[in-house]
Amino acid sequence: MLKAMEEINVKLGVKTILSRIEEACNRRKPELQGVSPQLVAVSKTKPVSMIIEAYEAGQRHFGENYVGELVEKASNAEILEKCKEIRWHFIGNLQTNKVNKVLSIPNLYLIETVDDEKLASKINSGWSKYCGEKNKLKVMIQVNTSGEDAKNGTNPDNVVTLSKFVIEKCENLCFDGLMTIGQFGYDLSQGPNPDFLLLSKCKDDVCTNLGLEWKSVGLSMGMSDDFEHAIELGSTNVRVGSSIFGHRVKKV
Ligand SMILES: *Cc1c(COP(=O)(O)O)cnc(C)c1O
């Protein structure tokens, strides 16, 4: 087990994914050019040493989906010392009673998984105490594009309403875009991934209804198996774990 982890070359992994991202960008239609997608290295279940290795390869954005694990890694002394510009993305299911824990970590950059008004309000009020010294907190709205009961995320029909709520009622938050996980194992030979198409349509709706500039709204979609396809469909934020850090032992 340990040996298997040591064999993973994290630095090479980051470089390889970055060049695949660049190639996918070049394949986008002209109207989707103009934003370069950000790579979020999803480090869940992986050790601090691997995060530092990726950081040393130039990677700055990291994603975690468990509150306890995020708190532990973000406050780790070695990370604080060696990864001063790290930017943490929270990408998991966030219960309201854990919001303050997430907000208290050093270098929190973006919460990608806001899916109702109650959670948005809780994050907004919690962030008020940091707002003097830090900027508004970036948040994304998670959309349940596949309609599966087991998935978190707001209904696509509710995206405009919830985005409007975040923009108009949450003065400490900065609306950064939309996020989806989508169904697993979609077969691309069936055509473009319907989850990505739907998320992109939600973005168009938000922009039209709320008068936002198209380029100002991000789309977080695409993981190890489909990030290139997601970029071709307009993703601005890909969340890649196992292709950088190796397979996870725990299924999460
Ligand atoms: C684990 C996870 C990822 C990364 O998945 P890989 O298939 O390992 O790239 C991306 N997004 C979310 C929300 C995750 O939980």
Please check whether residue 205 lies inside any domain of the structure: no
**Which pLDDT score, from 0 to 100, does residue 160 have?**
98
Q: With a cut of 60, say whether residue 3 has pLDDT above it.
A: no
Residue nearest to atom 10 of ligand 1 (CA): 239
User: Each residue of 136-148: b (16+ CB within 10 Å) or e?
Assistant: bbbbbbbbbbbee
Greater pLDDT, 158 or 6: 158
Please check whether residue 54 lies inside any domain of the structure: yes
Distance, CA 238 to ligand 1 centroid (Å)? 9
**Which pLDDT score, from 0 to 100, does residue 137 have?**
97
Q: What is the value of pTM for the model shown?
A: 0.95
pLDDT band with cut points at 50, 70 and 90 for residue 6: low
Q: Which atom of ligand 1 lies nearest, measured to the CA of 112?
A: 13
pLDDT band with cut points at 50, 70 and 90 for residue 58: very high
Q: Which of 14, 65, 180, 219 to mutate to test the pocket of ligand 1 (most atoms within 8 A of CB)?
A: 65
Please check whether residue 190 lies inside any domain of the structure: no
Distance, CA 186 to ligand 1 centroid (Å)? 15
Please check whether residue 210 lies inside any domain of the structure: no
81-134 pLDDT per residue, tens? 999 999 999 999 999 999 999 999 999 999 999 999 999 999 999 999 987 777
Structural domain boundaries, residue 149: 37-183
Q: How high does pLDDT run on average in the chain?
A: 94
168-221 pLDDT per residue, tens? 999 999 999 999 998 888 998 899 999 999 999 999 999 999 999 999 999 999
**Which pLDDT score, from 0 to 100, does residue 50 have?**
97
Q: Which atom of ligand 1 lies nearest, measured to the CA of 239?
A: 10
Q: Tell me the CATH number at 129.
A: 3.20.20.10
Residue nearest to atom 12 of ligand 1 (CA): 91
Please check whether residue 229 lies inside any domain of the structure: no
- As to burial, measured by CB atoms within 10 angstroms (0-12 exposed, 13-18 middle, 19+ buried), residue 92 is buried
Spell out the alpha helix ranges (H) of 8-148: 10-26, 48-56, 67-74, 77-82, 99-103, 117-127
N- to C-terminal Cα separation, the chain: 18
Please check whether residue 116 lies inside any domain of the structure: yes
Please check whether residue 79 lies inside any domain of the structure: yes
Pocket of ligand 1 (CB under 6 A): 42, 44, 65, 91, 181, 223-224, 239-243
219-247 pLDDT per residue, tens? 999 999 999 999 999 999 999 999 999 99
23-42 pLDDT per residue, tens? 999 999 998 888 889 999 99
Residues for the chain: how many in total?
252
**Which pLDDT score, from 0 to 100, does residue 138 have?**
98
- The domain tally of the chain equals 1
Please check whether residue 8 lies inside any domain of the structure: no
**Which pLDDT score, from 0 to 100, does residue 96 have?**
97
Q: Which atom of ligand 1 lies nearest, measured to the CA of 240?
A: 9
Q: Which atom of ligand 1 lies nearest, measured to the CA of 44?
A: 1
pLDDT band with cut points at 50, 70 and 90 for residue 8: confident
**Which pLDDT score, from 0 to 100, does residue 117 have?**
98
